[in-house]
Structure 1
Amino acid sequence: MSLVAVGSVGLDTVETPFGKVEEVIGGSAVYFSLAASLFTRIQIAANVGNDFPDRIWQLLAERGADLSGIKVIEDMPTFRWSGRYQGDMNEAETLRTELNVLALPPETPESYGGSPFVFLANMGADVQLATLQRLQGRYVFADTMNLWIETQRDLLLELMAKLHGLILNETEARMLTGETNLIKAGGALLDLGPRVVVIKKGEHGAFLFERSFHFALPAYPTAQVVDPTGAGDSFAGGFLGALADMGSLEPTALRRAMALGTVTASLTVEHFSTGGLEAADRKEVDRRFRELHEFVRL
């Protein structure tokens, strides 16, 4: 089944203990789509400026992606983010943000309306709600961040009541629910409307909550973490791409998709920017999936 991704495309400047890169490809829609394209047909909607390199679109087109929702704003530059990671690299320090084309809401072609799976990447809840009205997907998942929890809480709660699934990190889950215990936070998030909640825990894996069951999974054990930027979006792309490929949200499918999501994220963190996902193929994903399966087997 096809999968629509609506989000940001950016140029990042990132510094970690392993080096620094400037003006490299980034953005939630890019990481998500590169990850999801390893599993299923992806349809992308995002705004880009007149200064964004074409090579990433060429790669996605080769993987069968529909790029008709990519809108080039000729008189504006691309969204830019600059950040720094220190220590264990679990948190990024934002140094600079330039919204540029990100200040304009993305437009989704009518042809995207029939896709059963939709991912609304990290954007304002007002933009996510407006996008949701145009995309009547059967399974709509969304991401959010602390900024929208603080400034658009009421709109975010309205959105959550209409979602099939929510994907967020542990800090955001605690902030949104007021619960310090993540098991309680997962239950509280289900009470707000979504049928599926995934709480990402970075290097410690992820929790999945559904009414009928809970599931916990460690991250794929990688000894080489160079740049965590985009890992969460890559996890979401692998997770939803796998679900779209299987065409199911049964417990067995959700468990498998969680494992494929964490495996896909492991490809991202081993390189700066999108290098790991660009070089990846399904064969490598499946190899790591088998390794993770052996790692967690009791």
Structure 2
Amino acid sequence: MTSPIPNPQSLSAEASKDSSAILVVGTIAIDNVKTPQASEVNLLGGSASYAALAASYSGCPVHLVGIIGHDFPSQHLAMLENHGITLDGIERSDGASFSWSGEYHENMNDRTTHQVAINVLENWQVKIPADLRSAPLVVLANMSPENQMQVIDQCEAASSSNPQSAISNPRSSSPFLIADTMDLWINIANERLHDVLKRVDLFVINEGEAREFVGTSNLILAGQRLLKKGPRHVVIKLGEFGAMLFSAPSNGPWSLSEDTFFRCAAFPLTEVADPTGAGDSFLGALAGHLAATGKS
């Protein structure tokens, strides 16, 4: 049995049609994390949580959709609300929340996963509240490709009722769709993941997953091959070394130029406390920038 989370910031139908609104859909989890410096349990985790929090710093309205269990800490929901994130789309189930336990190695890049408890995510069928389906920018945070397709179908079906969008999108009757993924889905849901790529505008993936997905160690070739799978733009995350953006040319074959390729460095840090959710936070911050500037 599931029920929506009561939210004092409940949306009206008009609020969901804000031209800079961001809909974030994905996992909301409880994390237990150990680093060389510290160990903490019952932390807020999940791809959608990190993405929504990062997007909230843009000042644009952020709406979060996901599922949690009966054991999900109320202080985590309060923290999300304190960042101005609306929680109308969160379902609470009778089961236990999705949780992850892991340990980072000394270099803070490598980690060991000790436990993953799928719990309420196992049979989750995404149901986007009607008031949120016409959001102009939709973030498909890391979750199963099947769940991502459920979001795409619901939002694209409702998009014709929201013709006013701050996001520049050649598919003018559709929301601007951004998707992330991970190696698990590349391995066990590859065909469905290809379906997602055919439907999204921007696909985000880390360098190791990009190499695995398209079968090359050359990241320039990887970016080109990912573009051929359907998205108009691809971002390959490089961790501490930044990111690379690939864009499909307006006509002709892809070639390296200022219109089709951009690379940016990461901000250097002398000390890293906890890299959990770094890629998800990048995804949310990118979405927030697009919504705030109206550029794609």
The TM-score normalised by the length of structure 2 is 0.81
Shift of 1:154: 1.1
Please tell me the root mean square deviation across aligned C-alpha atoms, in Å: 1.2
CA drift of 1:78 comes to: 0.9
Cα shift at 1:218: 1.2
**Separation of aligned partners in 1, 2:74 and 2:25:** 18
Match of 1:245 in 2: 292
Task: Report the alpha carbon displacement of residue 64 of structure 1 after superposing the two structures with TM.
Answer: 3.0
> SS at the partner of 1:135?
helix
How far did 1:246 drift?
Answer: 0.9
CA distance in 2, matches of 1:175, 1:236: 20
Identify if the C-alpha distance between structure 1 residues 63 and 86 changes in structure 2 by more than 3 Å, giving closer, same or farther. Answer: closer
Aligned mates of 2:273, 2:28 — CA distance in 1: 21
The verdict on how the C-alpha distance between 1:106 and 1:220 changes in structure 2, with shifts beyond 3 A counting, is same
The structure number with the bigger radius of gyration is 2
1:144 equivalent in alignment to 2:181: yes
Q: Is the 8 A contact 1:124 1:148 kept in 2?
A: yes
Question: Within 5 A, what are the aligned runs for 1:1-298?
Answer: 1-39=20-58, 40-73=60-93, 75-103=94-122, 104-136=124-156, 137-211=174-248, 212-249=259-296
Q: Deviations over 1:11-63 (max 9, x none)?
A: 11111111111121111111111110111211110001112122333333343
| Cα displacement string for residues 276-297 of structure 1 (whole angstroms, at most 9, x for unaligned residues) | xxxxxxxxxxxxxxxxxxxxxx
Q: Is the 8 A contact 2:64 2:87 kept in 1?
A: yes
Distance 1:107 1:80 in 2: 21
Amino acid at match of 2:218: N
CA contact (8 A) 2:241 2:265 kept: yes
Name the CA distance, whole Å, in 1 between partners of 2:140 and 2:231.
14
Question: Structure 1 runs of 4+ off > 6 angstroms?
Answer: none
Report SS of the residue matched to 2:133.
helix
Q: Percent identity?
A: 39
Q: For 2:69 and 2:145, locate their aligned partners in 1 and report how far apart those are by CA, in whole Å.
A: 23
Q: Secondary structure at the match of 1:69?
A: strand
Q: Which residue of structure 1 aligns with residue 163 of structure 2?
A: none
**Number of equivalenced pairs:** 248
Q: Specify every segment of 5 or more residues in structure 1 that has no aligned partner in the other structure, as ranges.
A: 250-298
Higher relative contact order, chain-length normalized (CA < 8 Å, sep 6+): 2
Tell me if structure 2 keeps the 8 A contact 1:7–1:106: no
* Residues 203 and 54 of structure 1: CA distance in aligned 2, closer, same or farther (over 3 Å): same
For 1:105-149, what per-residue CA distance to the aligned partner results, in whole angstroms no more than 9, with x for missing partners? Answer: 332101111111111111111111122101125210111111111
Counterpart code for 1:98:
A
Aligned partners of 1:184, 1:158: CA distance in 2, in Å?
A: 21
CA distance in 2, matches of 1:229, 1:8: 14
- SS of the equivalent of 1:114 reads coil
Task: Tell me how far apart the structure 1 counterparts of residues 149 and 184 of structure 2 sit (CA, whole Å).
Answer: 16
Gaps of 5+ in 2: 1-19, 157-173, 249-258
Post-superposition offset of 1:230: 0.5
